Structure 1
Amino acid sequence: MTDPNQATRVVDTHQHLWMMSERAYDWIVPAYGPLYADFGPEDIADEADAVGISATVLVQAADTYEDTFYMLSVAAREERVKGVVGWVPLDRPGEAEAALDLYAPSPYVKGVRALTHTYEDPRWILRDDVAESISLLAPRGLALDYVATTAEHLELVPELAGRHPDLKIVIDHMAKPDIASGAWEPWATQIRAAAALPNVFIKISGLNTASGAEWTAADWQPYVDHVLEVFTADRTMLGSDWPVIILAGDLTRVWNAQLEVISGRTEAEREAVRWGTAASVYGLEF
């Protein structure tokens, strides 16, 4: 029998929170304008309700324990938050293991991510010490979110996934295709190569900040169609990338555009993208 509550399930798999007044976020500098401020759960609650987001996965915004524990504190008091993608020092395997053991009792820790797109070495994620830490994730039922913002980042996903075949790897923000200039390659070919590995998943998220100033959902459509062709809906999910999206829009406009670009899919496909894939990848409980 179909659960009637499924019809109202919509998961935002990529939401950030940060409190700069309380802890450090090294990458958030005054040049980012409106992002250089505190963003707590109360700042998105009303708009999330309005667009129908029923569940949220919080994703790390700093390579610090402080950031992860802040997200866990929010999860403990906010019913909408169903999961946290936190941080451990992947290049320090002993410490990473200890941190994962400390996180283990929490019902909210669903995955791990690091701000690898800011690192000097684009192949950092393939280092032997990092691989040792990554090997600890799958046995604990945790996923790895991966930020690929350049072709060099994206091209190594098949190798990463091949090294860790039991690990669910999630490509954030569709690997940031250059929508603003209408570029298609090498992104399209690299996305197809990444999708060939069955343990790789992808988020439709962060597209507005990869687009031109006057973006519309139509600008995104060919990129999203390609992702759905090669990954299928069962390996694709939605994420807002709030509050980063306020650099080029707001939650209502972005979320509605994301729903628009999947509106031509079957109901089963839309259900998968809206919540089913997220529930499977992150082990979410509703």
Structure 2
Amino acid sequence: MTRPPTNTIVDAHLHVWDPARGVYPWLGPALAPVNRTMALPEVLPELGSHGVGAVVLVQSADSDFDTDLMFETARSHRQVVGVVGWVPLDQPVAAAERLARLRDEPLFAGVRNLIHEQPDPQWILRRDVDAGLDLLEQDGVPFDFVAAGPLALATAAEVARRHPGLRLILDHLGAPPLDTEPGQAQPWLRSLAVLAGHPQVYVKISGLYLRSDSDGNGMRRARAYIGEALELFGPRRMMYGGDWPICLLHEPYGRTLDIIRHGLPDLADADRDHILAGTATRAYRIDPQRLASATA
């Protein structure tokens, strides 16, 4: 695949949603700033000001309507270069039928389920879900894995062991404990090291919320966590994600990008290009012509 032009930035983790179109069970008054329609035009000025030329839209609800909304958004905005949608992994027959339709969409880039919202933390390891993951592995479809702590990372490692051919993309750096010094976060680091041993596992640098960080310690710890992941995975298996609009619950858009740009000053330009665009382009098999059009 053609490499993206130098200085291209792909935000590999951005959401849109519309509560008028369907139900988002996790959304409600407690999340008031984003408890409304969040459409791509709202964030386009921020993307432009941070030099982000292309985005991958990632699912927000375990329903077809959410995936359909993302494709509608993509048809109206050239900045969208990929869509990570939803299929019912626990219903393999229905999942196969939905995958067949999604493959007709040129921008279909992968699948995600809100596994962190499931009552059963081991849901992803159930036999019926495992059969759904078999479909993704056989079809070469990436799977975004939402991790919410060390137990989830261990579960992700088991998924990678069962499905060595599945391109598994770990969201939000595997949720490192940012309020803890990296040297004390051994469960996170051990699980991440196990995942790094599976060559088809990738990591998104996303969801690293520092909030006010008045003393700069949050930024320092975030840099250290990214550095630990970089040692394990290398830049060719790491990608940037801004996590808009969830990020607005904590801080303005672009803080994670600032960590990458300014927090890793010793990173070679080519390695930084991998993290900011190249890895996402390869992992999601983004069409180079669509990417060129988005960033023209």
TM-score over 0.5 for the pair: yes
User: Any conservation in 2 of the 1:51–1:256 contact (CA below 8 Å)?
Assistant: no
Unmatched segments (≥5 aa) in structure 2: 292-296
Q: Residue 239 of structure 1: which of 228, 238, 241 is its match?
A: 241
Deviation at 1:10, TM superposition (A): 0.7
Q: Residues 12-62 of structure 1, C-alpha deviation per residue, up to 9 Å, x if partnerless?
A: 000011112332211011111212121101100011011011111000000
Q: Which residue is equivalent to 1:17? A: 16
Q: Which residue is equivalent to 1:29? A: 28
Q: Which residue is equivalent to 2:40? A: 41
Once residues 194 and 277 of structure 1 are traced to their aligned partners in structure 2, the CA distance between those partners, rounded to angstroms, is 17
| Amino acid paired to 2:147 | A
Deviation at 1:252, TM superposition (A): 3.4
Once residues 252 and 93 of structure 1 are traced to their aligned partners in structure 2, the CA distance between those partners, rounded to angstroms, is 38
Q: Residue 270 of structure 2: which of 240, 261, 268 is its match?
A: 268
Q: Which residue is equivalent to 1:144? A: 143
1:88-103 to 2 correspondences below 5 Å: 88-103=87-102
| Amino acid paired to 1:197 | H
Deviation at 1:118, TM superposition (A): 1.0
Deviation at 1:115, TM superposition (A): 0.4
Q: Which residue is equivalent to 1:167? A: 166
Higher relative contact order (Cα pairs below 8 Å, separated by 6+ residues): 2
Q: Residues 196-237 of structure 1, C-alpha deviation per residue, up to 9 Å, x if partnerless?
A: 1111110000001xx464265323011000000001111000
Q: Which residue is equivalent to 1:279? A: 281
1:30-179 to 2 correspondences below 5 Å: 30-179=29-178
| Amino acid paired to 1:188 | L
Aligned residue pairs total 282
Once residues 17 and 100 of structure 1 are traced to their aligned partners in structure 2, the CA distance between those partners, rounded to angstroms, is 21
1:206-225 to 2 correspondences below 5 Å: 206-208=207-209, 211=210, 213-214=212-213, 216-225=218-227
Deviation at 1:175, TM superposition (A): 1.2
User: Any conservation in 2 of the 1:217–1:258 contact (CA below 8 Å)?
Assistant: no
Deviation at 1:243, TM superposition (A): 0.5
1:258 aligns to 2:257 (yes or no): no
Q: Residue 226 of structure 1: which of 221, 225, 228 is its match?
A: 228
Deviation at 1:152, TM superposition (A): 1.0
Once residues 264 and 131 of structure 2 are traced to their aligned partners in structure 1, the CA distance between those partners, rounded to angstroms, is 38
Q: Which residue is equivalent to 1:180? A: 179
Once residues 143 and 275 of structure 1 are traced to their aligned partners in structure 2, the CA distance between those partners, rounded to angstroms, is 17
Deviation at 1:119, TM superposition (A): 0.9
Any idea what SS the aligned residue of 2:81 has? strand
Deviation at 1:126, TM superposition (A): 1.2
Unmatched segments (≥5 aa) in structure 1: none
Once residues 71 and 99 of structure 1 are traced to their aligned partners in structure 2, the CA distance between those partners, rounded to angstroms, is 15
4+ residue runs over 4 A deviation: none
User: Any conservation in 1 of the 2:223–2:259 contact (CA below 8 Å)?
Assistant: no
User: Any conservation in 2 of the 1:170–1:200 contact (CA below 8 Å)?
Assistant: yes
Any idea what SS the aligned residue of 1:44 has? helix
Q: Residue 251 of structure 2: which of 213, 238, 249 is its match?
A: 249
TM-score w.r.t. structure 1 length? Answer: 0.94
Once residues 265 and 13 of structure 2 are traced to their aligned partners in structure 1, the CA distance between those partners, rounded to angstroms, is 20
User: Any conservation in 1 of the 2:173–2:203 contact (CA below 8 Å)?
Assistant: yes
Once residues 269 and 114 of structure 1 are traced to their aligned partners in structure 2, the CA distance between those partners, rounded to angstroms, is 30
TM-score w.r.t. structure 2 length? Answer: 0.91
Alignment root-mean-square deviation, CA: 1.6
Q: Which residue is equivalent to 2:294? A: none
| Amino acid paired to 2:203 | I
Once residues 114 and 33 of structure 1 are traced to their aligned partners in structure 2, the CA distance between those partners, rounded to angstroms, is 23
